[in-house]
């Protein structure tokens, strides 16, 4: 009887004064009560840890994995010491007859590295392309060939 009277007075108060403030709601089944459980401190802590690990793995890939992929790609090119290849930053504009090569690696995400590479040893001999590599703490594997060109 007492509970029915309390519910009736709460209903009367709602109709006369408008909806109650959130601090006066005591029902555990109110929809806003579940929202606070969704964004609890534990959930926020877990989310922040996942983001921190993601960023840390990306930095490790950038500082260690990029160099590893660079050396792997460079070792796969037919650059021999007898021709004295020159390392250039990017594709050379104009015509050059000196043997050149370029290799650039960039971390696109944690454990994902893109490598752009190419070499040219004369007017009609050269090769190059762009590949995605999976780098995982020393293990390097090509997972996708984006582009390939050949002279």
Tens digits of residue pLDDT in 87-128: 666 555 655 567 778 888 899 999 999 999 888 877 777 888
Using a 10 angstrom Cβ sphere, with 0-12 exposed, 13-18 middle and 19 or more buried, the burial of residue 142 is: middle
Mean pLDDT of the chain: 77
Instruction: Name which residue leads in pLDDT, 59 or 85.
Output: 59
What is the domain partition of the chain in residue ranges? Answer: 41-150
């Amino acid at each position: 009887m007492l509970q029915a009277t309390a519910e009736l007075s709460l209903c009367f108060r709602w109709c006369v004064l408008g909806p109650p403030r959130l601090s006066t709601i005591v029902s555990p089944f109110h929809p806003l009560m579940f929202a606070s459980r969704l964004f609890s401190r534990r959930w926020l802590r877990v989310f922040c840890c996942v983001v921190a690990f993601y960023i840390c793995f990306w930095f490790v890939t950038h500082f260690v994995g990029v160099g590893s992929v660079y050396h792997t790609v460079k070792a796969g090119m037919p650059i021999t010491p007898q021709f004295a290849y020159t390392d250039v930053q990017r594709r050379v504009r104009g015509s050059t007859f000196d043997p050149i090569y370029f290799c650039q690696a960039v971390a696109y995400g944690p454990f994902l590295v893109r490598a752009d590479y190419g070499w040219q040893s004369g007017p009609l001999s050269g090769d190059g392309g762009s590949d995605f590599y999976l780098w995982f703490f020393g293990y390097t594997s090509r997972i996708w060939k984006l582009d390939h060109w050949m002279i």
